[in-house]
Amino acid sequence: MNGKRILLGVSGSISAYKSALLVRLLVKAGADVQVIMTESAQEFITPLTLATLSKRPVLSAFVNDKNGSWNNHVELGLWADLLIIAPASAHTLSRCAHGFCDDLLSAVYLSAKCPVFFAPAMDLDMYRHATTVENLHRLESFGNHIIRAAHGELASGLVGEGRLAEPEDIMHVLTDYFTQDAQTRVLAGKQVLVTAGPTQEAIDPVRFISNHSSGKMGYAIARTFAQAGAHVTLVSGPTGLPVPHPTVRRVDVRSARDMFEASQDAFVNSEIIILSAAVADYTPVHVAAQKIKKKEPQFSLELTKTTDIAATLGSQKRPGQWLMGFALETNNERENALKKLHTKQLDWIVLNSLRDQGAGFGHDTNKITVIDKDEEIHEFALKTKDDVARDLVNLIAKKLSA
């Protein structure tokens, strides 16, 4: 943290008193801290306290009342190495998620060129409310980082999630981020191909065969590579997810054949290939031109194998190309994963088990085991998919650095 320029946004929450402890820890670690407070935050902790600890005047308005000087939100956004809003109230989360900038803090957020972290704090029911959950997802989809609220006793007397993460825990997250950033510098400028989401295999004009993949894991991986400075092509099956990062080039596909052809095109110039998509193994031999009517009590569908993308690209892999595949298993997990690793000539296989709670399709979390071609095993705990993506990217960066 030494020498890092940190913008600390403080919004209206009873937990704003913890921002004083966070400022102290940041300054002690050698960071240059500029505090920006919302008007409501000043009802919970005084600007004088935070100004004294940060050794800088606290900013809260576009115009300084004392001397009429302009607090330039654009310059502040360019100055910072990192912006963290802690505590981030429900109101501030909503304002940032939807682009309102009627105060200095939200204007600085919209101007920020640096990584942005939100540490929410609010009462249990507010934190669980669908609008807050949606706003947090929306902010994450923009490439921001969320430091989840902690579980414990709240100011209301309720017990549950909603407490601001402890300042020491926030410091660990920020320190880890800058450490990881240094580790992943080797990825800057690398050409990366990521596949994500499901495929849809048409039966007729209105029906298809598919699976439960949401695409969240692949999109998190694409975003993490892009944040590390890589040039990312994301070949995506049908999902409801936005482009994960402004620099990511997304290629939308539907069927397994579409995904194979798009992946083959991008593979030629790619140095790192991450095949996280859940591609259909079989597709109908015949696709009806008209909707199939329900007539007979039984209906048979003839299927044929699709092209194995991982095996095909593995056989074409050149020196200097690195290939990571995924294996979602329900039984004999490691045995099946090792077989895929070697037969498809992968450098890594990422194993998920549907027997692990919170892993697999449909979750915002994942639990993985990574096995490399030398059969070295890397096990990871259950984490958010963004954190899993960082683990995978760091693993690849470490290999490339070596």
Examine the domain organization and report whether 80 and 51 are in the same domain.
yes
345/325 same-domain check: yes
In terms of residue numbers, what domain contains 91? 5-182
The pLDDT score that the predictor gives to residue 245 is: 80
What sign does the CA torsion over 389, 180, 77, 121 have?
positive
CATH number at residue 80: 3.40.50.1950
| C-beta of residue 20 within 8 angstroms of C-beta of residue 33 | no
Which tokens belong to 321? 């190309």
Q: What is the pLDDT of residue 295?
A: 85
251 forms beta bridges with 235
Look-up of token digits 């004294």: 52
Set 72, 211, 336, 394: catalytic member: 211
Residues 239 and 347 in one domain: yes
207 lies in the same domain as 346: yes
Instruction: State which residues of the chain have pLDDT below 50.
Output: none
Integer CA distances (angstroms), 68 to 47, 62, 71, 260, 293, in order = 18, 10, 9, 61, 74
pLDDT at residue 227 in the model? 82
| Cβ pair 214, 362 in contact under 8 A | yes
The number of distinct structural domains making up the chain is 2
The residues that bridge with 32 in the sheet, in sequence order, are: 5
Residues 345 and 221 in one domain: yes
Do 197 and 165 lie in one domain? The reply is no
**Would you call 211 a catalytic residue per the annotation?**
yes
Residues 280 and 363 in one domain: yes
Mean of pLDDT over the chain: 91
| Contact between 158 and 123 (Cβ < 8 Å) | yes
Rounded distance, CA 97 to CA 85, Å?
13
CATH code at position 210: 3.40.50.10300
For the chain, the three-class secondary structure string (H helix, E strand, C coil) is: CCCCEEEEEECCCHHHHHHHHHHHHHHHCCCEEEEEECCHHHHCCCHHHHHHHHCCCCECCCECCCCCCECCHHHHHHHCCEEEEEEECHHHHHHHHCCCCCCHHHHHHHHCCCCEEEEECCCHHHHHCHHHHHHHHHHHHCCCEECCCEEEECCCCCEEEEECCCHHHHHHHHHHHHHHHHHHHHHCCCEEEEEECECCEEEECCEEECCCCCCHHHHHHHHHHHHCCCEEEEEECCCCCCCCCCCCEEEECCCHHHHHHHHHHHHCCCCEEEECCECCCEEECCCCCCCCCCCCCCCCCCEEECCCHHHHHHHHCCCCCEEEEEEEECCCHHHHHHHHHHHCCCCEEEEEECCCCCCCCCCCEECCEEEECCCCEEECCCEEHHHHHHHHHHHHHHHHHC
Q: Which of 182, 212, 235 is the last residue of a domain?
A: 182
d(CA 79, CA 355): 47
User: Please, which residues have CB within 8 angstroms of residue 201's CB and are 6 or more apart in sequence?
Assistant: 208, 209, 210, 255, 256, 280, 282, 283, 284, 306
Which residues, in sequence order, are bridge partners of residue 88? Answer: 120
Q: What tokens appear for 204 in the block?
A: 């007729």
55/52 Cα distance (integer angstroms): 5
Residue ranges for the known binding site are 281, 291, 326, 340, 344
CA–CA separation, 90 vs 296, rounded Å? 55
Strands 369-372 and 377-379, bridge-based pairing: antiparallel
The answer to whether residues 303 and 369 belong to one domain is yes
CA-based nearest residue to 148, from 177, 179, 169: 169
> Using CA atoms, how far apart are residues 247 and 174, in angstroms rounded to an integer?
23
Residues 165 and 206 in one domain: no
pTM: 0.61
Which of 182, 217, 240 terminates a domain? The answer is 182
Does residue 132 share a domain with residue 213? no
Domain identity same for 205 and 170: no
Partners of 353 in beta bridges = 329
Task: Tell me: do 119 and 218 sit in the same domain.
Answer: no
Task: Among 151, 182, 213, identify where a domain stops.
Answer: 182
In degrees rounded to 5, what are phi and psi of residue 134? -65, -40
Task: Write out the binding residues for CTP.
Answer: 281, 291, 326, 340, 344
Query: What is the reported pLDDT for 251?
Result: 96
